[in-house]
């Protein structure tokens, strides 16, 4: 018997053996990994590799020989003093996942899912993606020697397509939305036995994202933040972060998890969870045609939407949106204060953080963590539209000198 006890339905609580399975046969609810954790303490993880695999006891890979790692995780938790001063916060931290090997947080869930695909002996992997997961899955597939199939809407950023193709992935560009690509990936994955990391591997895939809780807790010397601002597309990351903190409490590494506040950040034009939260609904109405520059969050029918709503209620949270201008302003604010260049999804987090402060929902002394999930170099097109174009000058020192103040 390994450390995984069973898979459990999130809805009806029916238990299943930890196999290549992701939905409940009784009620079609999602299946979560439940563990029989070994005994750990704060010293267990010290002096280990600086990747998220330092927490392998708490992750769903039974044999370390099956781990497929490209060195992701243990990304910086920056004390954002200049940004904090600009917003009126004394205790603000930015979790900068834009510096992962494929430049987004998706290296975490993709790495766990591809490792589990290796453990299951699958012959190929793939994903449905708005861009970042395509690159993360393709990179891990290359490292793990898997054929890889990417299903993505045709209008995602060119840099993200280029990146995934460079790792050798088979890229299927779908003329439609992310939800169209997701539906096609699900059908092909099931018919061909391909491990689609965020669909039929989802029970294991989401476990990678909970390392965003593990790392923040360890980097804060095992303290629990008062406020966490999380960008939300499908909602899986926010739900996984909550699960991560709860597991740390279960193994007695932290306490008082119930005191933290979760804040879900979505872009205007694709904010179905924010809409449901503000109307006090328990179900999410899908957005048919997302319209936002934050394409990595443009998931109109979020798979974990109702669970995010439950988490917000559980953790006294909020959900808020930001429009395109607020997103671009926030990207520049973060870049000019902390030297971090994020893609629009990270801009959504910073913009919503500012709104929460302006509305008095975050106190200036709260221990606040804002998650920045992707790198701005993936989405330069949207930024060039608002930045001043450099003036081409003759190579003449006297003429250029006049421009230098």
Q: What is the pTM of this model?
A: 0.96
Q: Where are the extended beta strands (E) located within 269-399?
A: 318-322, 368-372
Count of C-beta atoms within a 10 Å radius of residue 162:
12
Residue 132 is labelled as binding a ligand: yes
| pLDDT of 292 strictly over 50 | yes
Residue 244 in contact with residue 309, Cβ under 8 Å? no
Q: Given a cut of 90, is residue 157 above it in pLDDT?
A: no
Considering the domain 77-104+206-385 in this protein, what is its CATH number? 3.40.50.1100
pLDDT, one tens digit per residue, over 48-60 is: 999 999 999 999 9
How much of the chain, in percent, has pLDDT values that exceed 90? 94
- State the burial class of residue 342 (Cβ atoms within 10 Å of its Cβ: 0-12, 13-18, 19+): buried
pLDDT beyond 60 at 1: no
Q: What confidence category does residue 61 fall into, taking pLDDT thresholds of 50, 70 and 90?
A: very high
C-alpha to C-alpha distance for 93 and 205, rounded to whole angstroms: 26
The region that residue 168 occupies, defined by phi over 0 for left and psi between -120 and 50 for alpha, beta otherwise, is left
CB-based burial, 193-223: b 16+ in 10 Å, e otherwise:
ebbbbbbbbbbbbbbbbbbbbbbbbbbeeee
Name the residue among 259, 137, 154, 143 with its Cα closest to residue 202: 137
pLDDT at 234 over 50: yes
- The pLDDT value given to residue 403: 86
- The domain spans of the chain are 77-104+206-385
380: region left, alpha or beta (phi > 0 left; psi from -120 to 50 alpha): alpha
44's tokens? 């267990």
Q: Determine whether the annotation assigns residue 373 to a binding site.
A: yes
CA-wise closest residue to 362 among 245, 263, 237, 259: 263
pLDDT-derived band at 2, boundaries 50, 70, 90: low
Q: Report residue 71 as tokens.
A: 């060195």
């Amino acid at each position: 018997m390994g450390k995984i006890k069973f898979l459990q339905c999130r809805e009806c609580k029916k238990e299943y053996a930890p196999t290549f399975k992701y939905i409940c046969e009784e009620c079609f609810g999602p299946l979560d990994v439940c563990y029989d954790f070994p005994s750990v303490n704060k010293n267990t993880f010290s002096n280990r590799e600086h990747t998220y695999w330092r927490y392998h006891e708490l992750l769903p890979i039974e044999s370390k020989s099956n781990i497929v790692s490209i060195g992701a995780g243990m990304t910086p938790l920056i004390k954002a003093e200049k940004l904090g001063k600009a917003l009126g916060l004394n205790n603000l931290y930015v979790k900068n996942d834009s510096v992962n090997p494929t430049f987004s947080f998706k290296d975490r869930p993709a790495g766990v899912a591809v490792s589990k695909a290796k453990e299951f002996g699958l012959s190929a992997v793939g994903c449905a993606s708005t861009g970042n997961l395509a690159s993360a899955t393709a990179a891990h597939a290359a490292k793990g020697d898997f054929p890889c199939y990417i299903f993505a809407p045709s209008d995602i950023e060119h840099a993200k397509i280029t990146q995934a193709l460079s790792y050798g992935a088979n890229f299927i560009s779908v003329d439609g939305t992310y939800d169209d690509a997701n539906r096609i990936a699900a059908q092909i994955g099931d018919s061909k036995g391909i491990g689609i990391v965020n669909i039929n591997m989802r029970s294991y895939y989401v476990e990678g994202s909970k390392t965003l809780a593990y790392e923040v807790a360890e980097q804060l010397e095992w303290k629990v933040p008062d406020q966490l601002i999380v960008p939300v597309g499908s909602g899986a990351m926010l739900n996984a972060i909550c699960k991560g903190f709860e597991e740390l409490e279960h193994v007695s590494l932290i306490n008082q998890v119930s005191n933290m506040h979760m804040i879900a950040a979505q872009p205007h034009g694709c904010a179905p969870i924010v809409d449901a939260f503000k109307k006090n609904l328990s179900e999410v109405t899908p957005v048919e045609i997302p319209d936002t520059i934050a394409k990595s969050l443009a998931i109109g029918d979020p798979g974990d939407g109702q669970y995010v709503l439950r988490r917000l209620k559980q953790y006294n949270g909020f959900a808020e949106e930001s429009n395109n201008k607020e997103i671009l302003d926030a990207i520049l604010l973060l870049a000019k204060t902390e030297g971090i260049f994020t893609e629009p999804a990270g801009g959504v987090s910073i913009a919503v953080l500012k709104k929460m402060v302006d509305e008095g929902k975050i106190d200036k002394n709260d221990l606040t963590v804002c998650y920045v999930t992707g790198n701005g170099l993936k989405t330069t097109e949207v930024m060039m539209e608002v930045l001043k174009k450099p003036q081409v000058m003759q190579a003449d020192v006297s003429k250029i000198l006049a421009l230098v103040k």
